């Protein structure tokens, strides 16, 4: 994990660079696709869904959550990704839903810089690294 400063524009600009965004999407999808069949099962996607950390934390300490509630939340998130409801998520579904979620985060953050603790492989971390590389270049 690392601490980064970013805002909604960082996320939007990263997604607008289609080449950079697509590389990250394809890399993440390949990493999650443990059986290399070109589709993500619920089990494969669960790792990614858990990284979203959709439950509230208090000063970095996770709040105890009802296991049944967790199952319901992860099930509904998986359905959001599985647009054709065939029980798996293909690359296009993964890309499309990830883009929508990132746009939602960008809109929620607004354009005032926010200091955040980010997971090393997260899309937000990749967006921050992309922005830093652009500033150096």
Q: What average pLDDT score do residues 67-92 get?
A: 92
Q: Is 2 helix (H, G, I), strand (E, B) or coil?
A: strand
Q: What residues contact residue 19 under an 8 Å CB cut-off, 6+ apart?
A: none
Residue-wise pLDDT tens digits, 45-70:
987 777 665 555 555 566 677 778 87
Query: What does residue 62 show for φ and ψ, rounded to 5 degrees?
Result: -65, 140
pLDDT band at 116 (very low <50, low <70, confident <90, very high): confident
Asked if 14 and 126 count as a contact pair (C-beta separation under 8 A), the reply is: yes
Higher per-residue pLDDT: 59 or 134: 134
pLDDT of residue 40: 97
- Claim: this prediction has a pTM higher than 0.85: no
Mean pLDDT of the chain: 86
pLDDT band at 28 (very low <50, low <70, confident <90, very high): very high
pLDDT of residue 71: 84
């Amino acid at each position: 994990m690392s601490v980064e400063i970013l805002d909604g524009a960082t996320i939007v600009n990263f997604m607008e660079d289609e080449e950079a965004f697509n590389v990250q999407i394809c890399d993440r999808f390949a990493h999650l696709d443990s059986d290399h069949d070109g589709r993500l099962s619920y089990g494969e996607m669960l790792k990614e869904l858990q990284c979203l950390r959709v439950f509230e934390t208090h000063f970095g300490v996770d709040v105890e959550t009802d296991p049944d509630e967790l199952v319901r939340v992860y099930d509904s998130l998986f359905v959001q990704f599985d647009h054709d409801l065939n029980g798996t998520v293909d690359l296009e579904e993964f890309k499309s839903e990830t883009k929508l979620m990132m746009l939602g985060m960008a809109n929620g953050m607004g354009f005032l810089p926010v200091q955040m603790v980010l997971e090393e492989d997260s899309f937000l971390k990749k967006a921050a690294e992309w922005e830093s590389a652009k500033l150096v270049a």
